[in-house]
Amino acid sequence: MYVSSLLRVAAVSLALAIPLSPYGVIAADTAATGHATAMRGTAMQVPISEVSNPAGRLANASIQDKNGTSIGTVKKVIVDSDGKVAAVQVDVGGFLGIGSKLVEIKATDLKYEQDRNMLTTTLRKPAIESLPAIKT
């Protein structure tokens, strides 16, 4: 008796868990990818040229290289006459602000991840640390 009750409960639970329509079982929507998905707040990366209000949104964003290694923090966003991001100035190297330097990374080398307010670069950390320091 206990086993048949358990099977009945399992069958009802399974029936309630599967959404049905007149056309059969409804599958998950997988068509929503790309720019629209990124704007909804997923972990998708977009070019920073597509970021609205880049000076405000990218200020103090973290930067990592393509391997996930932390590079530094955005200190200044440089925009062109059209309001598009041309480059970002990043504080790299050092420890607790000692021995760090300010370098410039071109916008074409960066992607933005909205959920984590993180920029990812195609460059590696040693290449970024070898960039010339910017005089302020």
**pLDDT tens column, 6-36:** 667 666 665 665 555 454 544 444 444 444 4
* Domain 2-129 of CATH type 2.30.30.240: yes
For 71, residues 6+ apart whose C-beta sits below 8 A from its C-beta are: 63, 64, 65, 90, 92, 121, 125, 128
Residue with token string 């460059």: 123
Half-sphere exposure for 111 (CA within 13 Å, toward CB): 15
Mean pLDDT over 75-104 rounds to: 83
Each domain of the chain, given as residue ranges in start order, spans 2-129
* CA atoms of 9 and 14, how far apart (whole Å): 9
Please check the confidence at residue 112 and state whether its pLDDT lies above 50.
Answer: yes
Which helix or strand (DSSP H or E) is residue 12 part of?
helix 2-17
pLDDT of residue 117: 84
Phi and psi, residue 37, nearest 5°: -65, -40
C-beta of residue 121 within 8 angstroms of C-beta of residue 109: yes
* CA atoms of 52 and 32, how far apart (whole Å): 20
C-beta of residue 37 within 8 angstroms of C-beta of residue 55: no
Structure tokens at 115: 């959920």
Predicted confidence band of residue 104 (pLDDT cuts 50, 70, 90): very high
pLDDT of residue 51: 77
Tell me the whole-structure pTM to 2 decimals. 0.61
* CA atoms of 41 and 92, how far apart (whole Å): 28
**pLDDT tens column, 44-81:** 777 777 777 777 888 888 898 888 888 888 999 998 88
pLDDT of residue 94: 67
Question: Between residues 123 and 33, which one has the greater pLDDT?
Answer: 123
